[in-house]
Structure 1
Amino acid sequence: MAFLIHAVSASATGREIRRSRRIEADRLTIGRDPGSDIVLADLEVTLQHAVIVRTGTHRMVVRSLTGLPFSIDGRSTVESEVDARSGAEVRIGGFRMEIAWDEAEQAITVTVERYGLLAASSDVRDERQLFTLAGVAPSRRLLAWGGALLVLLLFLAWPVASYLGASGKKLTAQQMEAGASGFHGDRSWSAGPLSTAHANLTNNCTACHAKAFVSVRDDACKTCHTTVHDHADPEKLRVALAPDTIGGKLSLAVAHAFNRPAGRCVDCHTEHKGGSMQIAAPNQKFCADCHGALKEKLPETKLGDTKDFGTNHPEFQPAILVQPGDRPVFRRTSLDAHPRQETGLIFPHDIHLSATNGVARMAQALGQVKKGGLDCAGCHRPDPNGAGFRPVTMEKDCQSCHSLAFGRREGQIRTLRHGEVDQAIAQVRDFYAAGGGTPVQPLAGYMRRRPGDFASAQIAGLAPAGSAAQAIHALFAPNGACADCHRITGPSRPGAVDYKVAPVTLPDQFFVNGWFDHRAHTQEDCASCHAAPKSADARDVLIPGIANCRTCHVGENGGGIAKKAKVASGCAMCHVYHKDDRRGATAASREQKRKIMQPSATASVRNSG
């Protein structure tokens, strides 16, 4: 059994509005109560005024619940039986209800509407409006237009006026600080509070938003951040970031149309989120999106494709010294090629790290170690931040064993000036020109029995009457003080003393595009990564290959097989996004890089010519 209720009303323009609903029930309630099936909003109608009860397929009874009469087909009654097929008109208060039978819907229809002057009168309102603000407030259309105008004034006209008023003005730090506590109209456009680092720009929007309705450009960032460099050449970045799919290309085109090109600073450095603006390390996919197939987009690149450190990463390519000197030349070379580099030194690590040979016994005799031999820390001292090591120098790291004493006069030990070949030769000449003295063992031309501290150097058997030339030749002889560690050339002709020492160049950085932090590996023994105990030649490159690192380090998502530990290692663990001063990517910086030393090196010995 079902009833179809049709509520008929009129719009402000007189247009008929009909709302219909179907009720599956045998009983309809009529009254002013909003919970009634048929709501008659009229003060003449009680909350529960009447009821319609179905007694058959087409028949029903209309009954008053309060004893108040209603009109049905022109006669007043409190109860009446109705046949829907014949139809009937019921009037309660100012409402008329027409009852009929809908053959198509097989339901009794009740059409409800106001009638006569009551429906047309502007003074008679729906009760739900009489007791609400809707009865006295302006129309919704007027409120909508007024609200829209207010929004335009507050959030368009005022901000634009504030922007135009501040455009082109240069504010001092004091003015910006004073203005930060006030309110500017364009602040309503702000997406949120600025970070702590940029809080002083709160009321100076044009510092970043230099052009109205144009997103923040990189030039605005570089106005202050002058030492931050691009990840790579901007044109190459544009090519590498170009999407391959049609959808991606369309999205990029739309972004360009709205002045939002890819690769901007704000893609990562998002503002208006408050706080310290700390950026989380990018995930591996962020890098692999470009570097996973970089050679396809940039065939000329020298960088290898990589997606995952544990499973897809090229062998390390440290910067190998290929030409020593005051202006050394380095070349990135894969460790697969087993490169060697000429530092100018003659230094066997294996002899110095032995626990049983003469070097070990000498170190014990000098009190440098109690037992065993020297260790790596004896020469390699961490730098201030602990990530790398200070340059090895003769004065701090070698001289305690390798004496530079060459003579004694009037109880004073005379020592050679290290690193200045011409000065050393001049010192020996001056020593003998002044009458000489007692030469000490390093100049004697014999194997030194105990290099030790020069103050304890033993007197050699060289006669005081020996010539300066003899002493100089002894100094640079194969077993002399200099030749033990340095490569000697000369003299140019017999009898000459124009000896030269190969410049010593000690690289302090091998990885150009990455970095390594020794602080995170203090639990490891040096020899677990560096094969120094087995190296007999200073030309050996003791940088471990990627296979060594993969014994502990796997990809960010666990890719790879680790034998010792399983350390998830994303790209950001060893690589940084922004280039530093020495590795800028623009054409100008590439030219500058060609002219300067790259990477830096410690030159311990200068040539004498």
Structure 2
Amino acid sequence: MSDPHPTPEFPEKDYIRPNHDWACGRTCQGGSCSVGPSPRGKCRATYECAPRLETKPGESKGHWMCTRAKSAGGTCDKGPFPDGTCCNAVPKCQPRLTLRGIRKRVTLVTILASLIALYIGIGGSRRDDFINPGPISSVHASDHFTKRHAAMSGDQSSCAACHASAGKDGGQWHVQAVEAFKQGLAPHDWTRKGPLEASPMDQSCLACHQGMDFHQANMPSQFACHACHKEHVTDGAMPEVDSGLCISCHGDATLMAKAREQAKGAHSTPAEDSGSVAPPRQRPATGYTEVINSFHTDHPEFRQLRDLEPGQVRDTNPLKFNHAYHLKDGGLPFPPPSTEQLDCRHCHERDARGEYQRPITYSQHCATCHPLKFDPGTSDETHLGLLLPHGDPYYVRAFVRSLPIQYAEYARTQEGITQAEALKKYVDSKVANLEGSYQQSGEFLERAVFFADHESKLPDGRQTPFNGCATCHEVTDPKDTNGTPGIAKPATPERWMTLGSFNHDLHSKGFKCADCHNVTVSEKTSDLNLPSIKRCVDCHSPKGGIDHRCTSCHTYHHAKGSLFGDPVKAAPAK
């Protein structure tokens, strides 16, 4: 079906294109010429048309015809002059810049001004101030850091400590700019998920932070230090790592799958070096690759509890201890004349920072209630008398075998007996009374000292008048005839949760120890008595309102490095 209204012909030659830099000066009056200005802004107006010579059959000269377009008014009445010149001359105008032309000039001027400013700023004496994008954290702005960097590289510019190009001549910056686009500044990297990958600048960080390689050995790739540690934000302490950066990796199932695959040839599951006497733990064969989105939703149970199998002895400390007995009915009473009741604080003392508990020692925490008395004849309710030494089985055996000497020294220092005859009489009396109370030889006394248990019995069933080393320690028979019984050395862990930090002082406000540690029913040394992660989530979650960021508990570098230690002879990355 034909269109009854055909599309009119488009006047292409009369169309003023918007991509021109110049427009006719009479455009705003609605009378722009069809010729328009030149690309350089010169008016090209001459006549309204270019007359055409028509010659009819039989004519020799012909006549000129007007060619003015219909859009401009059509053929004029006067027509061309006899010499073929249009009778309607177009007056000249002053072409003006279009918006496109103005924008182009502004852009060129801006670029030129920027290049000049960069050249002056980069090449000037205050280049560091000019290129600084923001304040430097207090550590990196310190005089100590500047001096350290100068000692390492000989460069006084503190910027060059991290940015290798900062120490180069301004003429080399275009080369550095090209390299920067290959190391994390390329446009396709701006939309990539996860932190930026490692760059040569990270070598500058490691010059001071030795051994602080990023994270674990099974990571598919190493990430840039500045991806998590944000500089040029504040002149105080560097901002803490945002949990979102941790989740960008640990919450990515694809990345964690790659980490598990990487771990197949990366780990031999060595024991964790915790720096404490806690039993060593084996690293998971696939590394720590569980997908975690937040502490309060899908964080796995603490490994010390998660790895606990039914019936498995988790705390391998050979020392014998019963928490429930010591804390029954609010705690055992101290020996007279004290009236205090024993509780957790009497044995567990925090370090100076209030974070962790100090090690338990016999002399400070046990001796008050458990003095090593072996001779009832030199002790009573108010006087401890002669006591066995504690700590070294060789010293204990030597003490028992030299009792006459020990009694003589005790008589001089405690009883005030100094005359030789009186000393001999005192010693003979004490030795005779001791043998009489045991009704056994000195050899039996020595065995009783080592092997008597908490019921004052020897392994063969014989009764003794006191508790021996076996009350608290694992004691084994000597390996040879004249050997000393073996006593298993206590291994009381200073820390169990070695992969996370903790502060007891902060948690003691409003809480009791038993609120988290279920020690009131713990009767075995093997009981771990650590709180479950569910107990922690009660507070450390959006519902509980307490900080639950990843960095609240975790650090993330797999090796400890020196921070501003002795300078290493290494220049920043080139």
Same fold flag (TM > 0.5): yes
Question: What is the CA–CA distance in structure 1 between the aligned matches of 2:43 and 2:432, rounded to whole Å?
Answer: 127
Partner residue, 1:420: 392
Does residue 296 of structure 1 match 2:257? yes
Instruction: Indicate if the aligned counterparts of 2:301 and 2:532 stay in contact, CA closer than 8 A.
Output: yes
Q: 1:489 to 1:186 in 2, by over 3 A?
A: closer
Q: Taking structure 1 as reference, are residues 144 and 530 closer, same or farther at Cα in structure 2, changes over 3 Å only?
A: closer
1:298 aligned partner, one-letter code: A
| Aligned position for 1:155 | 118
| Of 355, 364, 374, the match for 2:342 | 374
Q: Does 1:286 align with 2:270?
A: no
Whether 1:388 aligns to 2:356 is yes
TM-score (norm 1): 0.53
1:541 is matched with 528
SS in 2 for 1:470: helix
Question: Partner amino acid for 1:387?
Answer: E
DSSP 3-state at the match of 1:298? helix
- Matches of 1:187 and 1:460 in 2, distance apart? 90
Distance apart, 1:498 and its partner CA: 2.3
Matched, 1:573 2:534: no
> Is the 8 Å Cα contact of residues 229 and 578 (structure 1) preserved in structure 2?
yes
Distance 1:193 1:525, change over 3 A: closer
Per-residue deviation, residues 485-540 of structure 1 (Å, max 9, x unmatched): 111111457x8562111110011111132232222321111112111111111111
Q: Distance in 1 between matches of 2:118 and 2:449?
A: 85
Q: What amino acid is aligned across from residue 225 of structure 2 in structure 1?
A: C
Match of 1:94 in 2: none
Q: What residue identity is the alignment partner of 2:215?
A: H
Equivalences for residues 24-43 of structure 1 within 5 A: none
Which amino acid is 1:543 matched to? Answer: L
1:24 aligned residue: none
Q: Aligned AA for 2:296? A: G
Task: Provide the C-alpha distance between the structure 1 equivalents of 2:106 and 2:29, rounded to a whole number of angstroms.
Answer: 36
Distance 1:409 1:194, change over 3 A: same
For 1:295 and 1:144, how far apart are their aligned partners in 2?
47
Determine if contact 1:437/1:464 at 8 Å carries over to the other structure: no
Q: Is the 8 A contact 2:388 2:396 kept in 1?
A: yes
* Structure 2 match to 1:340: 314
TM-score (norm 2): 0.56
Deviations 1:240-299 (CA, angstroms, capped at 9, x unpaired): xxxxxxxxxxxxxxxxxxxxxx71111122333441252134125632533553641222
Task: Return the alpha-carbon distance in structure 2 between the equivalents of residues 318 and 7 of structure 1.
Answer: 86
Cα distance per residue 1:338-364 (max 9 Å; x no partner): 6532211111111111128xx72x426
Quickly say closer, same or farther: Cα 1:143–1:469, change in 2 above 3 A.
same
SS in 1 for 2:492: strand
Instruction: Give the residue type in structure 2 aligned to 1:344.
Output: P
Distance change in 2, residues 1:205/1:438 (3 Å): closer
* 1:312 equivalenced with 2:312 (yes/no): no
Q: Is the 8 A contact 2:121 2:130 kept in 1?
A: no
Residues paired across the two proteins, number = 387
Trace 1:444-593 onto structure 2 (pairs within 5 A): 462-463=434-435, 467-476=441-450, 477-478=452-453, 479=456, 480-492=467-479, 498-522=484-508, 523-554=510-541, 565=544, 567=546, 569-579=548-558, 581=560
**Alignment match, 2:139:** 197
Given that 2:250 and 2:256 are in contact with CA atoms closer than 8 Å, whether structure 1 keeps it comes out as no
Q: Does 1:431 align with 2:403?
A: yes
The 3 A distance-change label for structure 1 pair 232 and 519 is: same
Rounded Cα–Cα distance in structure 2 between residues aligned with 1:87 and 1:280: 82
| 2:326 match: secondary structure | helix
Residues 397 and 446 of structure 2 are in contact (CA less than 8 Å); yes or no, is this contact kept in structure 1?
A: yes
Which residue of the partner structure matches residue 399 of structure 1? Answer: 367
Distance in 2 (alpha carbons) for counterparts of 1:542 and 1:305 = 27
CA distance in 1, matches of 2:40, 2:207: 62
Shift of 1:5: 1.0
Q: Is the 8 A contact 2:231 2:238 kept in 1?
A: no
- The structure showing larger relative contact order (alpha-carbon pairs under 8 Å, at least 6 residues apart) is 2
Matched, 1:269 2:251: no
SS at match of 1:318: helix
Deviations 1:348-394 (A, max 9, x none): 111111128xx72x42634151xxx4111110011111121111110
- Indicate how the Cα distance of structure 1 residues 152 and 232 shifts in structure 2: closer, same or farther if over 3 A, else same: same
**Residues 60-87 of structure 1: per-residue CA shift (max 9 Å, x gap):** xxxxxxxxxxxxxxxxxxxxxxxx9999
One-letter identity of the residue aligned with 1:551: D
Find the aligned partners of 2:433 and 2:538 in 1 and give their Cα distance. Answer: 56
More helix, by proportion: 2
* Residues 136-165 of structure 1, C-alpha deviations (whole Å, 9 max, x = no match): xxx999999898667545524873x67xxx
Aligned to 2:219: 237
Deviation at 1:232, TM superposition (A): 2.1
Structure 1 pair 152/333, CA: closer, same or farther in 2 (3 Å)?
A: same
Q: Separation in 2 of the partners of 1:337 and 1:515?
A: 29
**Residues 460 and 531 of structure 1: CA distance in aligned 2, closer, same or farther (over 3 Å):** farther
- C-alpha distance 512-333 of structure 1, shift in aligned 2 (>3 A): farther
2:257 maps to a residue whose letter is: E
Correspondence for 2:11:
none
Work out whether residues 491 and 497 of structure 1, in 8 Å CA contact, stay in contact via their aligned partners in 2.
yes
Q: CA deviation at 1:306?
A: 2.1
Separation in 1 of the partners of 2:516 and 2:111?
70
Deviation track 1:31-86 (CA, whole Å, cap 9, x = no partner) reads: xxxxxxxxxxxxxxxxxxxxxxxxxxxxxxxxxxxxxxxxxxxxxxxxxxxxx999
From the superposition, tell whether residues 237 and 482 of structure 1 become closer, same or farther in structure 2 (CA, over 3 Å): same
Unaligned runs of 5+ in 1: 19-83, 89-98, 100-110, 120-124, 130-138, 163-182, 240-261, 320-331, 440-457, 559-564, 583-609
**Structure 2: 5+ residue runs without aligned partners?**
1-27, 46-72, 78-87, 147-155, 166-172, 181-199, 264-285, 412-429, 457-466, 562-574
- Give the 5 Å matches for 1:8-19: 10=37, 13=40, 15-16=42-43
> How far apart are residue 114 of structure 1 and its match?
5.2
Deviations 1:149-190 (A, max 9, x none): 67545524873x67xxxxxxxxxxxxxxxxxxxx33465333
Q: Secondary structure at 2:249's aligned position in 1? A: helix
* CA positional deviation for 1:576: 2.1
Report the Cα distance in structure 2 between the residues aligned to 1:190 and 1:267, rounded to whole angstroms.
Answer: 18
Change (3 A) 1:292 1:392: farther
More strand by share: 1
SS of the counterpart of 2:208?
coil
Give the 3-state SS of the residue equivalent to 2:204 in structure 1.
helix
Q: Distance in 1 between matches of 2:446 and 2:538?
A: 52
8 Å CA contact retained: 1:348, 1:538? yes
